Structure 1
Amino acid sequence: MRLRHTLAFGTGALLVAALMPADTAAAVDPDSRPGSVPAAANASGTTDRSRSDLKAVRLDPDPTPPGGTTEVHAFVVNLGPERTASPFQVILRVPGGLTILRPKFPDDCAPSGDRVITCTFPAGMNPLETATAIIPVRADAKVPAGTTREGHVTVACDDDSNRLNNRIPLTFTISDPNEG
């Protein structure tokens, strides 16, 4: 099971609508659940690409002291107007001085060294739904307090019609363990 949040109803829809470009927000009608029907197979039996727009949303992790851990919530929303017809990947890259630990969710992410991890989510994310990968990160004990470093979350999907909003920076802050 993949962590997905349906934000099509209630106050969550307002949050997602605020993240959308004006022309996309008007094109997605949460009451009609556009794209909720699986993508049709074409004559060759393969699935046609959808017109979906996956966006990485910036959620900076909490500060952590040298040697401490924090969690990255790599958050992605489908701005629509259609359901994804292909799987998508959420990729986290952390800067030097930080190490990716075993993911909490999903637990089958694929690390590439200590500083890059890729989590794959299945096809079928409806417009206004979100997916979150939860990945702990440890700061090296030698990184001085007060240091900030930049990492990135990227979403990749063959269906994505707008690749300009697929990569966002994250700020990792190394806090002073003596300050409250």
Structure 2
Amino acid sequence: MRENRMRLRYTLSAATGALLLTTLLAPTASAGASVGSAKLLNSDLEAVRAEPDPTEPGGSTLLRATVVNHGPDTTGGPFTLTVRLPLGAEAEEPFFPDTCRLAILSSGHTVRCTFPRGLPANASVTADIPVRISPNAPVGDLEGGSTQATALLYDRNPSNNRAPFTLRVVEA
């Protein structure tokens, strides 16, 4: 008896998933369709490459992480901007906006910022993340940093949601 109930639950979950996928992968004529209060596939978020100022070992710099909505519509739901710092760098509070938080267990290398729905087409938001460079960091480029915009259901072009960046370490 228990096995049948589990099978029924799985079947309902698969049907719900298939319906959601059909909605998301439908031809562009259905772009802008609604699920709840969020419009689907109606905006295009892009993470813009950050270019923080160079700093010396043990110094600090400000990383300005920007996300642009290329539209055509206002964002239909909230989205997240994630900043991943390369090894040799740590984020230091305070962050702007105050919806930015250090990710749990990231050792200061990942900051997540949440933004509400309603970013108009052709507008942008920016998060300011102060970054401290390790005193032991070698002179040169610290590679492996990235910014990433994540929006569920309504970002019609996820190919431009991630942008790598480097932190340049210069002699003191």
TM-score category (smaller protein): 0.7 to 0.9
Establish whether residue 95 from structure 1 lines up as the match of residue 89 from structure 2: no
| Structure 1 or 2: more helix by fraction | 2
C-alpha change, 1:104 and 1:110, in structure 2 (3 Å) is: closer
Establish whether residue 132 from structure 1 lines up as the match of residue 123 from structure 2: no
Q: Amino acid of the residue matched to residue 47 of structure 2?
A: A
Structure 1: 5+ residue runs without aligned partners? 1-38
What's the counterpart of residue 29 of structure 2? none
C-alpha change, 1:60 and 1:79, in structure 2 (3 Å) is: same
Q: Which has the larger radius of gyration?
A: 2
Query: How far 1:98 moved relative to its partner?
Result: 0.6
What's the counterpart of residue 165 of structure 2? 170
Query: How far 1:73 moved relative to its partner?
Result: 0.5
Aligned residue for 1:144, secondary structure, equals coil
TM-score when normalising by structure 2: 0.74
Q: Amino acid of the residue matched to residue 132 of structure 2?
A: R
Q: How many residues align?
A: 137
Structure 2: 5+ residue runs without aligned partners? 1-31
Please give the residue correspondences for 1:18-167 in structure 2 after superposition, counting only pairs within 5 Å. Answer: 46-112=37-103, 113=106, 114-158=108-152, 159-167=154-162
C-alpha change, 1:144 and 1:122, in structure 2 (3 Å) is: same
Inter-partner Cα distance in structure 2 for 1:103 and 1:56: 22
% of aligned pairs identical? 39
Contact kept? 1:55, 1:78, Cα under 8 Å: yes
Query: How far 1:40 moved relative to its partner?
Result: 9.7
Query: How far 1:50 moved relative to its partner?
Result: 5.0
1:11-45 deviation per Cα after TM superposition (whole angstroms, max 9, x unaligned)? xxxxxxxxxxxxxxxxxxxxxxxxxxxx9977xx5
Inter-partner Cα distance in structure 1 for 2:142 and 2:34: 48
Query: How far 1:91 moved relative to its partner?
Result: 0.3
Q: Amino acid of the residue matched to residue 157 of structure 1?
A: A
TM-score when normalising by structure 1: 0.71
Contact kept? 1:49, 1:86, Cα under 8 Å: no
RMSD: 1.9
